[in-house]
């Protein structure tokens, strides 16, 4: 695939929020994308970015964006952008993202609002970028039909972390029949200011509203293919060719970044693969996004640890700059077949990095026409 010859102007919505800040950190040094517009709430509009943001990243505000004037999230103000990255909260994202799509802009969203839409792809870029194929149908069903505008969503941060090794296992060993996943999710997943300190310090909160349901149905949409009927109408098959059952239990823990998940799986094939075969399949897994040459895709999607006490958030959350996932404790499960621990950086591959790689794939596949 040929990389774009000229810089691609992009806009960031929700630029002052936690995810928006991560978008800025990652995009400030991107080889293709150049930050052209920043959008936020009306109370931030009109201010320079440095004066509008409560910066919470571990690195300074990139110099290139410090003096950019923040705009309201109105599509007409972003008309020069080829790509829009949305870090908006769900309360605001629905109407805003729809308006940007209607203005013929390509929207890559981190919000939940359109994940269930039967014509919007829900993409973990290291797993199912082929689902971009439904975009022409999405465009044709809009009123009026669109030529350039569309919405692509990335998955919930907890879904993203564990579904990458699941995809590696299905690729090597065929369908998975059942999954049990217990999450220990970082407080950054709740945004800023997040969970009150008196609630999370010295504590584990065994409930995150809506999180378990998201994991259970998102997994089916992501691992399922795109089916086409006799009339050429496409739909997501929700893993229907071989039904998959998923049971999730989600917990908030006093870790800043990095979701840890304990996973048990049962395979359809008999006999199931051995732990060593599972380790080898994960190490060998090469996502399509990496093969295409996406600059933000990790060279090695999955790092498999042999140590009995890894992965750990403090040690492993920035593996591949947070774009890869770490797996450890791969062993036999006496109830299902195989169990393991996975760690993913929830604010990188679980959020902003996924949206950026999704956009890179769309550019390389000419879903976005950057030279027009």
SS3 (DSSP) at 314: helix
Residue that is written with structure tokens 């839409």 in the block: 117
Sign of the CA dihedral running 211, 226, 162, 294: negative
Exposure string for 282-318, b = 16+ CB within 10 A, e = fewer:
beebebbbbebebebbbebbbbbbeeeebbbbeebbe
Cβ partners under 8 Å of residue 21, min gap 6: 15, 53, 55, 56, 57
**CA-wise closest residue to 212 among 139, 268, 158, 284:** 158
Asked if omega into 277 is within 30° of 0 (cis), the reply is no
CA distance 225 to 139: 20
Sign of the CA dihedral running 359, 360, 364, 365: negative
**CA-wise closest residue to 317 among 263, 248, 264, 255:** 255
Apex CA 149: angle with CA 34 and CA 16, to 5°?
45
CA distance 131 to 127: 10
CB 342 within 8 A of CB 325: yes
CB count within 10 Å of CB 240 equals 12
3-state helix, strand, coil in the chain (%, to 5): 35, 20, 45
Catalytically active residues are 157, 259
Could you give the angle at which helices 157-173 and 211-223 cross, rounded to 10 degrees?
A: 30
CB 79 within 8 A of CB 8: no
CB 103 within 8 A of CB 75: yes
């Amino acid at each position: 695939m040929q990389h774009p010859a000229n810089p691609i102007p992009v806009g960031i919505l929700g630029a002052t929020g936690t995810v928006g800040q991560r978008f800025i950190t990652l995009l400030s040094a991107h080889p293709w994308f150049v930050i052209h517009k920043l959008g936020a709430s009306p109370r931030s509009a009109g201010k320079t970015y440095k004066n509008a943001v409560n910066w919470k990243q571990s690195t300074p505000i990139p110099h290139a964006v410090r003096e950019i004037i923040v705009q309201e999230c109105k599509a007409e103000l972003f008309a020069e952008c080829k790509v829009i990255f949305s870090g908006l909260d769900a309360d605001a994202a629905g109407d805003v993202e729809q308006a940007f799509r209607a203005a013929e802009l390509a929207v890559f969203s981190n919000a939940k609002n359109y994940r269930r839409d039967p014509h919007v792809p829900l993409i973990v870029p290291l797993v199912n970028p082929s689902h971009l194929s439904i975009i022409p149908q999405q465009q044709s069903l809009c009123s009026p039909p669109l030529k350039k505008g569309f919405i692509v969503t990335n998955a919930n941060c907890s879904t993203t972390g564990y579904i990458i090794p699941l995809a590696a296992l299905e690729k090597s060993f065929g369908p998975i029949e059942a999954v049990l996943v217990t999450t220990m999710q970082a407080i950054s997943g709740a945004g800023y200011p997040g969970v009150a300190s008196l609630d999370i310090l010295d504590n584990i909160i065994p409930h995150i509203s809506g999180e378990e349901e998201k994991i259970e149905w998102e997994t089916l949409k992501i691992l399922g293919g795109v089916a086409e009927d006799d009339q050429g109408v496409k739909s997501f098959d929700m893993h229907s060719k071989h039904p998959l059952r998923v049971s999730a239990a989600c917990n908030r823990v006093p870790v800043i970044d990095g979701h840890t998940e304990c996973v048990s799986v049962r395979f359809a094939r008999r006999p199931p693969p051995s732990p060593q075969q599972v380790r080898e399949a994960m190490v060998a897994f090469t996502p399509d996004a990496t093969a295409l040459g996406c600059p933000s895709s990790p060279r090695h999607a999955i790092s498999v640890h042999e140590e009995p006490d890894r992965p750990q958030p403090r040690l492993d959350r920035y593996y591949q700059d947070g774009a890869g996932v770490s797996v450890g404790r791969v062993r036999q499960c006496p109830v299902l077949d195989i169990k393991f621990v996975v760690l993913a950086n929830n604010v990188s591959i679980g959020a902003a990095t996924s949206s950026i790689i999704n956009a890179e794939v769309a550019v390389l596949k000419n879903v976005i026409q950057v030279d027009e």
